[in-house]
Amino acid sequence: MNRRSFLLGLLLLGFPVLACSVLHPASTRKKMLQDDLQQFHVGLLAQTRPELVRPLPLSDREPWGKAWDCYFHRFRVIDYVIDAVRFHDDAIKADVSVQVTGHALNALATRQQAWREKWVYDRNKWRLEVRTEAFREILGECYPEVSSEKSGEP
C-alpha cells in the first residue's frame, strides 16, 4: 500500500467520526451528561467528595465539599434511581429527577427523597447548579452560604 492510499484510507475512516461529532453535538452532550450523572450519584453513594464537587466551578468546590461532608455526618444515601432527564435548548440545559433513598445516621428507617437537579453545559462540560432551593432543602443546615459570583474557571 502506498502512502497516498494509506492517507486516503485514514481520511475515509476518520470522516464519519468527525461528521458525527460535528453534526450531532447534542447527542454527544447527552452522552456526556449520562456519564456525569452516574459519576455524581455513585459519588453520593460512596460519599466521595471529589466526585460530588467535580461538576462545580473551582471556586465553589471547597465550600460545597464541606457541605457534603456535613450532610454525610447526618444522612447516609443507600440507593438512587434517575427517573427522568429532560433536555432543553438543544441539550445545553437538563432537568434531572432522581429518587434518593437513605436514612439518618441515628435511625434505621429509610426514607425516599425526590431530588430535582439542574445541569448546564458550559465550557465543554456539564455543571450542576447547586444554588437552588431544591439543594437548600436537601442539605438543610449544611447548605453553604457562598457568594453568588461566577468563577473564572476555564
What pLDDT does 19 receive? 42
CA-based radius of gyration for the chain: 20
Element at 103 (helix H, strand E): strand 93-104
Bridge partners of 129, per DSSP, are 118
**Residue 87, C-beta contacts closer than 8 angstroms, at least 6 positions apart:** 26, 30, 93, 94
What pLDDT does 17 receive? 41
Domains of the chain from N-terminus onward? 25-142 (3.10.450.50)
Q: What is the mean pLDDT of each run of 10 residues along the chain (154 residues)?
A: 56 47 74 96 95 93 96 96 95 96 93 95 94 92 73 45
Grid cell listed for 144: 453553604
What pLDDT does 130 receive? 92
